[in-house]
Amino acid sequence: MAKKALCIGINNYPGTHMDLQGCVNDAQDWAATLAARGFKTTTLVDGQATKAAMVAAMADLIGKGAKGDTLVITYSGHGTYQPDENGDETDGLDEALCPYDLQTKGEALTDDEIHALFAARKAGVKLVLISDSCHSGTVTRAAAAPAGAETRPRFMPMGMWLPKASLPKDRAGKAALTMAAPGGASPLLGAHSNKLGDLLLAGCKEGPNNFSYDARIGGRFNGAFTYYALKALKTQKPDATYADWHKAILKYLPSASYPQVPQLVGTATARQQKIFA
């Protein structure tokens, strides 16, 4: 029974002017924590985390998973959405993760693509997804942080990376650079399966205007969720469950500085599993 993890962190988004500062630290911190718990870890950070590399790494991790294995995928970076192309979204938008080459290649990693990758999973593989990115949001609230600000939403507006020809149109028939937020889910939620006992630990709620924040805490940049999740993990007993861990995280978040509510998504049985067992 193998334990393997893929930890992705992206600060640098060339051409978007929407760089972050805590995501690489997040990936390295998750990798170190998981390695200490017996996981074989792989990290993809910044220029390593192109869309092609993310797809290949996920496919390799999931494709090689066997019954009884525990797989963990962590993602820290921007979340975004784009016009739905296959008609399966009621709000007309696909949720997506933002790879390093989002703007230069012009392609996000959509929930549909992630779902297809996860569909190759073998029965009996336990999967834990950890998402420290925004689920959805508006251009206004996700605007560039003011000088000296200590927080920044991890949300990438469509207008920052999609060409105008690909943007949805407003009522005047012009490219809609701003629009109401979708009801949106985390892109990783589309890969989550209650039937197979998956767990998703996410930095914020689903839906409009919910953000995970890039933060500087104690002079070091991290995702606020990652920082407090790992801080809470250190206090857990060896037999602690995911539900215990989530309850401990909620002692720190939401806060006045970071108004985000971490979520634990999964069946009651999955929630009561021992952490990273």
Residues classed as catalytic = 78, 134
Strands across the sheet containing 93-97 = 79-83, 93-97, 109-110
264 touches 271 (CB < 8 A): yes
Q: Among the residues of the chain, which ranges form H helices?
A: 23-36, 51-63, 102-105, 111-118, 224-233, 242-249, 268-271
Asked if 186 and 259 count as a contact pair (C-beta separation under 8 A), the reply is: no
Q: Are 136 and 208 a contacting pair, CB within 8 Å?
A: yes
The C-alpha atoms of residue 110 and residue 51 are separated, in whole angstroms, by: 10
Residue 187 phi/psi, 5-degree rounding, is: -55, -30
Q: What is the DSSP letter of 152?
A: E
Q: Where are the alpha helices (DSSP H) in 119-273?
A: 224-233, 242-249, 268-271
- How many CB atoms neighbour CB 144 within 10 A? 10
What does the alpha-carbon distance between residue 183 and residue 89 come to, in Å, rounded to a whole number? 10
Cα–Cα distance, 184 to 201 (Å, whole number)? 16
